[in-house]
Every structure is written in structure tokens, then in C-alpha cells.
Amino acid sequence: MGLLETEAARCGVFISDLKYNPYLNRLILMDLLEMPEERFSLEEWTEGITYLTGTAHIFNNMSEMKAFLQNYRKEQPE
């Protein structure tokens, strides 16, 4: 099961709800930072984050992906 499928199943929703429900979208993107990076491949992380943000991302390694998620979290209002 991939990243998006895992998160949709965890929340009991469709994958599209993760993107189009603003509350879920923000929650999932922030929760991804807490997941062990080895749980999914870099490609899976990249595809999931690209889908959720609606913006194409290219991460060369897990550190870049984690840095993006950390910056995303900092930019979100409390």
C-alpha cells in the first residue's frame, strides 16, 4: 500500500479527500513529518507530496523531502 492509500485508509476517506478537504490536506501534510522516512520510497514520498500540494516537487534524497515538510509545517498558521 502506498503513501496516499495508507493515509486515506487511516482517515477512512478517499484519496481525493486528502487533497480537496482543506482540513485533512493540512493535517496529512503535517503528519507526514512524523512518519519514518523508510516506510516509503523517495518516489512514493515525492508523488504523495506533489499530489497533496498540487505543485510538482523533485527531491533528490530523503533529507530534502524532510526539509520541505519541516518548512511547510513552519509556514502553517497555528
Integer Cα distance of 78 and 63 in angstroms? 24
Domain hosting residue 9, numbered range: 3-75
Looking at residue 24, its pLDDT comes to 94
pLDDT of residue 74: 86
Its pTM stands at 0.90
**Total domains, the chain:** 1
* pLDDT for position 21: 95
pLDDT in tens, 40-55: 999 999 999 999 999 9
Dihedral Cα 22, 25, 28, 29, nearest 10 deg: -120
